[in-house]
Amino acid sequence: MLHCYIIVPYRARGNQTERKQQLEYFIPYMNNYMKQLNLKYTIMVIEQYDDNLFNRGKLFNIGMLEATKLFVKGEKSYFCHQNVDLIPQKIDYSLYSEGITDVWGYHLGLGAMYFTDLESYVKINGYPNDYDGWGADDIILLERCKFNNVPVNYSLRDTILNNKKDIISMEDEILLDFGIKNREKWINIKTNEINSEKVKNELSNPEIYIENGLNNCSFHIVGIVETVYKHYFVTWD
């Protein structure tokens, strides 16, 4: 049996308070959506429980490590990494393949939603753990796939880009009540010169920098709340 673990990086503090509204919409919607697909699934929200810069990549690493503790013998487990502001309309969550299946990305990197199997994610050692703030984590993930010869399937993404009704971003006008109202603010946040420099360094020495990732991801679980999904509160030093 297929078991899809949907891992959602999250924080609703500081300048990200609108994320709480997005999560309140996301959870019931996704539960209804996945039940219609008749797939076994687990939604895991990994919340960064501090006021430091948001570290999306490390949250995905934590989610993967915690998900492996939930594996059930006899099931084939795979993962969807998905931002909380993405609402699927016609996405088949069983359409993953060996390696990475990009769903909502762009040509420079693996963006807001993709599928992966555990073996491929371990092979690229996941994300770097030190990409604080917005930007560049998606770029380096794609570069790690290239460096380790992990295949990336773009066919699903290309289909979706040709029919944007397959998925809705809460940043779009149609969901502004739940989404981001100050676009200029978010453009500024996503411009992260520090991470851009880290990308340059890793591209110059990929065999060294790839050691920073899933295999040395340290963190503390502050608490776990389980309802119709699993909500992890995490911090790190």
Is there a contact between 156 and 103 (Cβ–Cβ < 8 Å)?
A: yes
To which H or E segment does residue 37 belong? helix 18-37
pTM, two decimal places: 0.89
Residue 176's pLDDT is what?
41
- Spatial strand order of the sheet with 113-116 comes to 152-153, 100-102, 113-116, 76-82, 2-10, 40-48, 230-235, 220-226
Residue 55's pLDDT is what?
94
The 10s digit of each residue's pLDDT in 59-93 is 999 999 999 999 998 899 999 999 999 999 889 99
Percent of the chain with pLDDT over 90: 62
How crowded is the C-beta side of 216, counted as CA atoms within 13 Å?
8
Is there a contact between 11 and 222 (Cβ–Cβ < 8 Å)?
A: no
How is domain 2-235 classified at the CATH fold level?
Spore Coat Polysaccharide Biosynthesis Protein SpsA; Chain A (3.90.550)
* Helix, strand, coil percentages, rounded to 5, for the chain: 40, 25, 35
Percent of the chain with pLDDT over 70: 85
- Cα 76 to its chain centre, rounded Å, is 20
The CA angle 62-115-44, to the nearest 5 degrees, is 40
| Helical segments of 84-222, H only | 118-123, 137-147, 155-162, 183-190, 193-204, 206-209
Lookup result for tokens 């490590």: 65
Model confidence at 166: pLDDT above 90: no
CA distance 220 to 235: 5
Where are the chain's structural domains? Answer: 2-235
